Structure 1
Amino acid sequence: MASPEQDLTPVLDKDGVRLTVDDALATVTLTNPAKRNAQSPAMWRALAEAGRLLPGTVRVVVLRGEGQSFSAGLDRRMFTPEGIPGEPTFTELAGRDDAGLDASIAGYQEGFTWWRRSDLVTVAAVQGHAIGAGFQLALACDLRVVADDVQFAMRETSLGIVPDLTGTHPLVGLVGYARALEICVTGRFVGAEEAVGIGLANLAVPGDQLDGAAHDLAAALLAAPRDAVIETKALLRGASGRSYDDQRAAERAAQARRLRDLAGLGE
């Protein structure tokens, strides 16, 4: 199925990332299928830029990857002594002082952080391999629709490093500590049926229906009033960090804002 973005003029199209906007719906596409959408610092900077370029009209963002794989993880050149031209090698990163190394990794993470903004709902449409950084990019989104051939894997620990692109927090939130630990440390594949069963994915569909299913979900999300969606997302996102009584209070405060707004009595 052709992507609904195909006739839209890109807002951004660089370093393996394309952003298109159709009123309230934006689509971010990974556009290097020949390399299975392998990720690099340049791609991460482009992903961060896509977040900054989103117009205020956008309410839902769909993230997808061209080709057979959503993203097979880091560009393999990052693991070589030569690295990627123009980018620091792992050895060069390791040689930086604590503040410099922390700042470098924080910069890489920026491409993964904006997907959970309170004013957006983000949907990852994931097919084929979603490995390491690819898995973490899918986890950056609020929701995941997967093709029946999806293969999630977190391989960082097996390579002697750790997942550091914001994936650990949502993974534990979705599947629990024990299962998240097992998935990360073994580096095994998680397929579509298991992903839905453990709460990692919301829905699995045949591969040729993936784009359509993601955009059907986006349309359903757009049907609800924007301010009510924002308040509901904030309530749910914060629930795990609140006590039962604190959550009750947060519900009351949110509902008071909604009722006053609907009555025309809001600030």
Structure 2
Amino acid sequence: MASRPSTSPSSSLAEHFPERTVGPAMKPPIPAAPTWTLHGLLLTDLWEGPLRARSRTRDRLGYIDFGMVIPPIRAFLYSTLIPYACYPIALVHLYGFYLCARTMVFPKYDKRRRYSDRVMYGVQKRVYDARQKRIIESQVVDVEEIQHALKVVGATRNQFVDDRQRKGTAYFVVEQNIMKAEALFTGENWAWAFISDTCRYVTPVLFAYLFHPSCKRLTVDVRLWRQGRLQWRQVRHPVLNFFKTYNEYNQAMRRINVTKPAAKGAHPWSRNL
């Protein structure tokens, strides 16, 4: 149990309900929501997002961030269309993960300072109606009456206390301490934020590792196509592979049109490919 704060009831009420003590409070201006464009989603954010990366652990993320799937999907799309683009995309996102690691905030477990100085009070009033011979209970929302109820009950909580000034009236006060945001940021919430950072900036790096064999095969086929020994439809491209049969993809020797004789001497046969 946390110790009860030393602030007076009137000051804590004024801090918690400023609109009831100093008049109508001015509402802060609502910031305009960022506008999303297709150009920014597909191209601009691909480079500017990692360069301006900041760890999600600073925001104390306590939920699953579904936006973390957008950068991997975007990187996979570009790597599929242009396999060589996986390398610069991986380098940029690796730098973004480095920025996330520098701005990462780890959870703090301090059980002694989990609650702030703010206190919330819930006041219930019970009035006995002698005419109807019944007890009427109601919730107290007036600030002055809440202050009066706190003076009546004193340090008593969670039970009705009779008001000596008003006959047949009793007050029931519930006190709740406000937990700090740092205390709410537990290890589970930190794990969600770390998963978001990892999925955003590490997955494109893994795509570069997966598309590296495709880039090697594409380099060989492009060189053969420039030599006139291969048709462009036979190039092993990640998109064109969907339109090829299993045998056509694996039997590489059958794809090549040999236009010059093999070199004589002790040269490996793969030199002509």
The TM tier, using the shorter chain, reads: under 0.3
Highest RCO, 1 vs 2 (Cα 8 Å, sep ≥ 6): 2
More helix by share: 2
